[in-house]
Amino acid sequence: MYELVGFDPPHQSDTRTIYIANRFPQHGHYVPQKFADNRIISSKYTVWNFIPKNLFEQFRRVANFYFLIIFLVQLMIDTPTSPITSGLPLFFVITVTAIKQGYEDWLRHKADNEVNGAPVYVVRSGGLVKTRSKNIRVGDIVRVAKDETFPVDLVLLSSDRVDGSCHVTTASLDGETNLKTHVAVPETAVLQSVANLDKLVAVIECQQPEADLYRFVGRITISQQTEEIVRPLGPESLLLRGARLKNTKEIFGVAVYTGMETKMALNYKSKSQKRSAVEKSMNSFLIIYLIILLFEAILSTILKYAWQAEEKWDEPWYNEKTEHERNSSKILRFISDFLAFLVLYNFIIPISLYVTVEMQKFLGSFFIGWDLDLYHEETNQRAQVNTSDLNEELGQVEYVFTDKTGTLTENEMQFRECSINGIKYQEVNGKLTPEGFSEDSPDGNRHSLMKEEELFLKAVCLCHTVQINADQTDGADGPWHASGIASPLEYYASSPDEKALVEAASRVGVVFTGTSEDSMEVKSLGKPERYKLLHVLEFDPNRRRMSVIVESPSGEKLLFTKGAESSILPRSKSGEVDKTRIHVDEFALKGLRTLCVAYRRFTSEEYQEISKRLHEARTALQQREERLADVFNFIERDLELLGATGVEDKLQEKVQETIEALRLAGIKVWVLTGDKHETAVSVSLSCGHFHRTMNILELVQHKSDSTCAEQLRQLAKRIKEDHVIQHGLVVDGTSLSLALREHEKLFMEVCKNCSAVLCCRMAPLQKAKVVRLLKTSPEKPITLAIGDGANDVSMIQEAHVGIGIMGKEGRQAVRNSDYAIARFKFLSKLLFVHGHFYYIRIATLVQYFFYKNVCFITPQFLYQFFCLFSQQTLYDSVYLTLYNICFTSLPVLIYSLFEQHVHPHVLQSKPVLYRDISKNAHLGFKPFLYWTILGFFHAFVFFYGSYLLMGEDTSLLGNGQMFGNWTFGTLVFTVMVITVTMKMALETHFWTWINHFVTWGSIVFYFIFSLFYGGIIWPFLHTQDMYFVFVQLLSSGSAWFAIILIVVACLFLDVVKKVLYRHLQPTSTEKAQLTEAGSGINCLDSMCCFSDGETACTSVRRMLERLMGRCSPTRVNRCGISLNSLCCRRFSYKLEPDEPAAIDV
């Protein structure tokens, strides 16, 4: 079993031999090949390896490994704190993460078991046997019924149709929703019963498994009495696992690839783990804090030995050394002391940071799915989060790479114009009308077609892969009613273009009515005609065309070809080539998608030759693709041009506004498309990607390195000379390949100086290469790729953030993306609101964690100066353990989920605010330094404030007792818990009742816990140093005065700094907050505020909508309670025309 997904399994030979129904030869010493079973394994762990494998993965994290080392040190040597202080938080973090990962893997196991245990029918011993999917073996004959998915990769043997054909959809594999036709070889197509199939004696030889979905090379040898018949097998014979059978009652096929060797399994691309910029910053900060920790530990150890150089301090009367201590090695003692100090200060590294960040990302991702602004009502689709690890990266995007068709456009094609024999036509009332000609004839009279028009429309109706719903191909009258009006046939097509063209032809009188056996049926103005389909020359991206060879009713052999103008016009020797080229360019300038149509007549000798060549190429086991390409090129020459078509793909709603908003936010937009140059430029202009005032530079149609380099230099020169105006760059696929080969640096320089870049005629891998080029450039910008089709997957996976559009080209892009949305316009809300919020939240979360741990551990370090560096701890072990887990964890977590420092409406209406957070502005070195210095400052105030105010006051306590070590430590700890919690409150702009509950609740919980912990003698505790300490501390008025004074002293400077900066150097965001506060509209629903007739549950729903930016001012107006107190924060935004002038909340 090959569990390494994404890799081809090792095989000894290049081909595999499969005996159908596992009838192995009886003579000779035959050794059957070993094949994988049919189990699919997508899970990561098993019951046996979960604990060791999961622990190994978790301890690869620096912080987890560090705390494990500290815990082991505490177990091995005499340290000042209990091993529990490190072990318990570590155990908590490891357990929470393991439960989360274990649950996710259990879901994968559950899904695997469902797939592997699915019932299937296999032909064995002359009958159909029901078994489980995992029991299918290579060579088994499997029966699949309509609308079922194929459980293995099968070679089609027969179907319920006489010609052995069937239709399948491969949307789950390549994202294409069209019906594809697959055919069996004639000798097996007639075997439609189980009894006949059980008698079949045949052998299949084919290539070993590979990931390419569209490549399959093999042959089948069928033994019939004394002769052996050899037939070629290609992709048209292979039914892939995961595809679904459509419009066919049942099929029989032989299993050739099973389990993890199926093409679907080999395409489980193990995506490289994407890491956000915040995570990288976090790791950098962690290393800096490790250095601080080591410095403090080394300094403390050196100072201890410097202090002990004096004899009276080396061995004071109250702490005499044992004989063993006197005789022990000084080096060992130094190492032991260093490790002890390391343990004492180890909490400067925040172990709970990772688990809090994971919880924040996981819980925060639900808000995207819940956001009704990202819900598309027509298709009933919500936004989808596939990778919550990148939430904050949405707030850091600098480049957007977008596909055109289906992403910027609707992917709904409508026939607009065509050119036939050099004359332009438009469709008017179901008739083809030459340009400038008005048709006033009544609709009942059928417009007669000229010979050239009819031939053109027949070519359109015959040269395609369109299928018709099986239920519609029958009927006495066929597709024409008595009135002569075409009934609506339901077409399924490999592309929306083909469907639009066939439907247009049917409207103007030439109707494709379906296929039967090896024929295609057409009705021309109601007159049925049958064309025998001889060969199909499939479309491929290199040729950019497809062809069919048919035999007309008169017996004439004809080739019809359709494809891009660049692949058809050079091969046309006759027809109105020049006029058609002009018309194609005109269509493209209007933003239409263009195709050219041509044909060729064959003599019987020519046809015999090409038929022979095709058979030889298709039966070849070696280099079959190359041979077929040569034959196709040989056939598709000397064409006679018939004309060209122009199909329109409408722009999606609000595309222009979204692109303009991205530009205002400082994000550069690149459009990467496979369309021709003129079409792409036209759409770019119409969607606002290019402006009319923009200077359009072109790098197109270059065939050599030298011309490409020269053009690049000229473009760079023009940009420098005209640096005032904006530039747009157009580059095609071939020129791009040349530019990236030798002149990458120059090309990047030109691109970066352009406001917008359009790449046309792009192959899927070229799209990914362009993204990688920008991603790895010296500036290392954050990239986002957005697309809807299978051809966008490589680009989506390559970018830092990949977004799939839930379009009409299946779900391949969506499944491989990090986020999925239904429309391109939703991108602005996703980036400007969700991205902005997530980044601000997590940036504050990370830096606050480091800040509160500096506050926590620095007094411990300062205390050593007052205890001869004896490693005496300032805090009790329970406080050490619970500080990060209980006392200070919830306020920052709730902040990181709910914080909205600016109203969502303001963020979306002012994209320029996005610039304030770009380039990791809030997690750079300066903010980090500020938070670290603030942490040290507060720690000094905690410690020395407590010492100066109370350290010398021996009669502090109400009963006259002296002020002890634990009382001092508890006072410092109390001041610290209150200060760091209040600091989080100062950072919070958006208050809900949840924020109030956890903020003030954390402080209250600390006091209640300390009273219970110190007020009761707990029998299970070995020592209880804290007994009655907290109660006595709170009984002192001086202590209360000190707590209030120190907390105010800490936070006063912070408040002053915020006020000064806000008024003297306000950022755009702070200005927006002032605008928001001054506009007089308060827009907030809270869970403690709901109007008459509404239940509390309704208000909960409204609060969730509010948190996602779904604010309804009119509904808030009905609430007559003032919420300017603890319930909520005052929020407002600029008036919209349809909103009330004042809202009282």
Task: Judge whether 410 and 848 are in contact, CB under 8 Å.
Answer: no
SS3 content of the chain, % helix, strand, coil (to 5): 45, 20, 35
C-alpha 206/C-alpha 13 separation (Å) is 11
Pairing of strands 639-651, 409-420: antiparallel
Residues 6+ apart with CB under 8 A from 805: 406, 407, 786, 787, 788, 813, 814, 820, 821, 822, 823, 824
Task: Report yes or no: 154 and 239 within 8 Å, Cβ to Cβ.
Answer: yes
Residue 403 annotated to the active site = yes
Residue 777 falls in which region: left (phi positive, over 0), alpha (psi -120 to 50) or beta: beta
Q: Which residue has the tokens 């006759």?
A: 574
- The one-letter amino acid at 278: V
Closest CA to 498 of 430, 563, 409: 563
Q: For residue 663, which phi and psi values (nearest 5 degrees)? A: -65, -40
Closest CA to 403 of 86, 693, 766, 740: 766
Spell out the residues 6+ positions from residue 1094 whose beta carbon is closer than 8 angstroms to its own: none
Q: Which DSSP string corresponds to 1045-1091?
A: HHHHHHHHHHHHHHHHHHHHS--HHHHHHHHHHHS-B----BTTB--
Place of tokens 């058809």: 568
Closest residue by Cα to residue 503 from 568, 573, 427: 427
Q: Which residue has 């050794």 as its token pair?
A: 31
* Spatial contact of 880 and 873, defined as CB atoms under 8 Å apart: yes
Residue 169, classed as helix, strand or coil, is strand
Q: Note whether 375 and 821 are within 8 A (CB).
A: no
Q: What is the DSSP string of 463-495?
A: SS--EE-GGGS--SSTTB-TTSPBP---EE-SS
- Give the separation between CA 622 and CA 257, rounded to whole angstroms: 20
For residue 370, give Cα distances in angstroms to 384, 458, 992, 1128. 9, 50, 18, 22
Q: Which amino acid is at 561?
A: T
Check 403, 675, 788, 818 and give the catalytic one: 403
Cα gap 797→802, rounded to integer Å: 6
The residues annotated with a catalytic role in the active site are 403
